Amino acid sequence: MRGTALLSIAGQSVWLDNITRTLLDSGTLERYVRELSVTGLTSNPSIFEKAVTGGDSYDTQIRGLMGKGMKPEEIFFEIALTDLRRACDLFAPIHARTGGEDGWVSLEVSPLLANDTDSTVKQARALHAKASRKNLFIKVPGTPEGIPAIESLTADGVSINVTLLFSDAQYRAAAEAYMRGLERRAKAGQPLDGVCGVASLFISRWDGKTAKRLPANLANTLGIAVGRQCYRSYVELFTSERWMALAAKGARAQRLLFASTSTKDPALKDTLYVESLAAPRTVDTIPEHTLLAMGDHGTVASVLSPTDMSWKATLDAVTKAGIDLDATAQALQVEGRDSFDKSWNDLIACIDSKAAALA
């Protein structure tokens, strides 16, 4: 049995961390749904930057939008929404079959707004309305300025994928914002059952940043330990009395999503992070090459348990080895934001350049 099917049997949703027009046009995405148990997908500026620069599949639409006098950022959102609406429609039967829990697609607000709460809320609302798909998440970064935006948007009924989370504290802040938003919505007499959410915890970047600073027995263990710590918090938060009061009113849990689950170190097994973080009622959004590897030779030997505290010994040992976990998490969030900023600027510059050439 394929490793991706084993994840699905374990109760974890398998999402693809990629979107291109070629994936849609060729039927490859549909095949992944059929053969690799894929039930959703995520996107980000880096993914779209590679998609637009990787060929000419967007040229015709860019030319047409340019003829309407659109600016590069407006052109990007138009071409992104064209792809993502198609993906939403492909996943719509899954969304319906799972009662709205699965079958989601994600579109990110401009990462340049990561430190601007009001502008994030404004753009997220506009994109949500423009997309006109009930299974589209708007991705909002879990930065200090993003947290109040997540609360406000959830209260408005906008389903959010919180991105750029790296630590237990950052994850908890995002989950608390989701619950506060639902509480505000309930207080206003609005229905809760149409709102959904995921909180995306980035895994492999921990090891990329710390492996060379740790002894061999601790190198490449930190990302998995943080993931397991956050899984315990996830179960704790969404079995609490506070959550049960919301669930009784129809609220849906904000699922924990494991992101950045491809290995960067060639010495590691290519499916290490995916296999190590199989957990019920969670999501793993998997880069395409890792998805194919998991389907080919991945295994699921065990699933996470909220009673497993083995991660604590790893975090304690890493701290004793000189890694400041809180400071590293903050640095990773800033670096992630800056990386998305760069990809965004590169993407907009690419569209601008293409528009000029096509003219």
Q: Which residues contact 337 (CB under 8 A, 6 or more apart)?
A: 111, 114, 141, 143, 164
Tokens standing for residue 166: 């790296």
State residue 191 phi and psi, 5-degree precision.
-70, 145
CB atoms within 10 A of CB 66: 19
168 Cβ contact list (under 8 Å, min separation 6): 226, 229, 230, 233
Determine the Cα–Cα distance for residues 284 and 258; give it in Å rounded to an integer: 5
* Pair of tokens at residue 228: 């397991």
Residue 259, strand partner residues: 202
201/271 Cα distance (integer angstroms):
17
Could you give the CA distance from residue 101 to residue 254 in angstroms, rounded to a whole number? 10
With beta carbons less than 8 A apart as the criterion, state whether 14 and 38 touch: yes
Q: How far apart are CA 340 and CA 219, in angstroms?
A: 26
* Residue 230 burial class via C-beta count within 10 angstroms: exposed 0-12, middle 13-18, buried 19 and up: buried
Q: Which of 133, 130, 131, 124 is nearest to 156 (CA)?
A: 124
* Separation between Cα atoms, residue 255 and residue 275, nearest integer Å: 18
134: annotated active-site residue: no
- Residue tagged active-site, from 50, 71, 134, 139: 139
Closest CA to 159 of 112, 106, 110: 106
Phi, psi of 204 (to 5 degrees): -65, -20
d(CA 120, CA 326) in angstroms, rounded, equals 25
Q: Can you read off the two tokens belonging to residue 20?
A: 């291109």
Residues comprising the chain, all counted: 359
Residues with a known catalytic role: 139
